[in-house]
């Protein structure tokens, strides 16, 4: 596993690096086996220390976690415990995914993603975004659109601690979206489902007349 441990406005010594490495190796050995790479960042969060952990554990599978406390070690241990809970929840699926890792990879589909300036940003308003024109693009990237089942999409979104995941539904090939709802549940948007229901309506069996 390739491991990088960095600090932003905080000191990261050899003892902390060793603690991070041994803890991650023990965690992965218990729940998964190995990882391709891991990134751990310590940063100052007001009067606290924030630990952010990102594990790349397989093709398209990234696990993210974070925690903030007053101590580097406690913050990392709390973030690592969150990782353990996530890996434990999806242990069987991850092992199945790992077993298929040597299968020929599908040609990945990509799309462009953009980072837009907020609408209340003075620069964006000056460029006309506040007048109903296109918002100001401050970054442009290429992102992969994986082909997944709904269950796989929910797992990837949960592991990555992401608010939303766009994917191509493996059952019918249309673009789908899963997202975190405000009530704690997961939302799923499937336009193809509505299309199928609409196309089925003309062939529906009419009600019997009384």
Q: What is the pLDDT along the chain (210 residues), one digit of tens a residue?
A: 789 999 998 889 999 999 999 999 998 888 767 778 899 999 998 899 999 999 888 777 889 999 999 999 999 999 999 999 888 888 777 766 555 554 455 666 877 777 787 766 555 445 544 455 677 887 777 777 888 889 989 988 888 888 999 999 988 888 999 999 989 899 999 987 665 555 544 433 333 333
In CATH, the number for domain 2-99 is: 3.30.160.100
Give domain limits for the chain.
2-99, 109-201
Selecting from 3.90.1640.10, 2.60.40.1230, 3.30.505.50, 3.50.50.60, what CATH number does the domain 109-201 have? Answer: 3.30.505.50
DSSP the chain: -EEEEEEESS---HHHHHHHHHHHHHHHHHHTS--SEEEEEEEEETTEEEEEEEEEEETTEEEEEEEEESSHHHHHHHHHHHHHHHHHHTHHHHHHHHHTTTSPPPPPEEEEEEEE--TT-HHHHHTTGGGTSPPPEEEEEEEEE-EE-HHHHHHHHHHTT-SEEEEEETTT--EEEEEE-TTS-EEEE-HHHHHHHHHHGGGSPPPPP-
pTM above 0.85, yes or no: no
């Amino acid at each position: 596993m390739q491991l990088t441990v960095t600090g932003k406005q905080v000191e990261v010594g050899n003892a902390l690096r060793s603690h991070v490495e041994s803890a991650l190796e023990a965690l992965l050995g218990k729940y998964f086996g190995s990882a391709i790479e891991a990134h751990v960042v310590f940063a100052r969060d007001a009067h606290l220390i924030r630990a952010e952990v990102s594990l790349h554990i397989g093709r398209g599978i990234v696990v993210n976690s974070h925690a903030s406390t007053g101590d580097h070690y406690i913050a990392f241990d709390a973030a690592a415990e969150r990782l353990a809970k996530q890996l434990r929840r999806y242990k069987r699926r991850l092992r199945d995914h790992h077993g298929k890792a040597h299968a020929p990879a599908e040609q990945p589909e990509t799309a462009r993603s953009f980072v837009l300036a907020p609408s209340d940003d003075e620069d964006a308003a000056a460029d006309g975004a506040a007048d109903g024109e296109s918002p100001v693009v401050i970054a442009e990237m290429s992102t992969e659109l994986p082909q997944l089942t709904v269950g796989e999409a929910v797992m990837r979104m949960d592991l990555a601690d992401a608010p939303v995941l766009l994917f191509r539904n493996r059952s019918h090939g249309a673009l789908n979206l899963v997202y975190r709802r405000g009530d704690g549940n997961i939302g799923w948007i499937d336009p193809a489902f509505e299309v199928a229901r609409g196309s089925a309506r003309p062939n529906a069996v009419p009600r019997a007349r009384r």
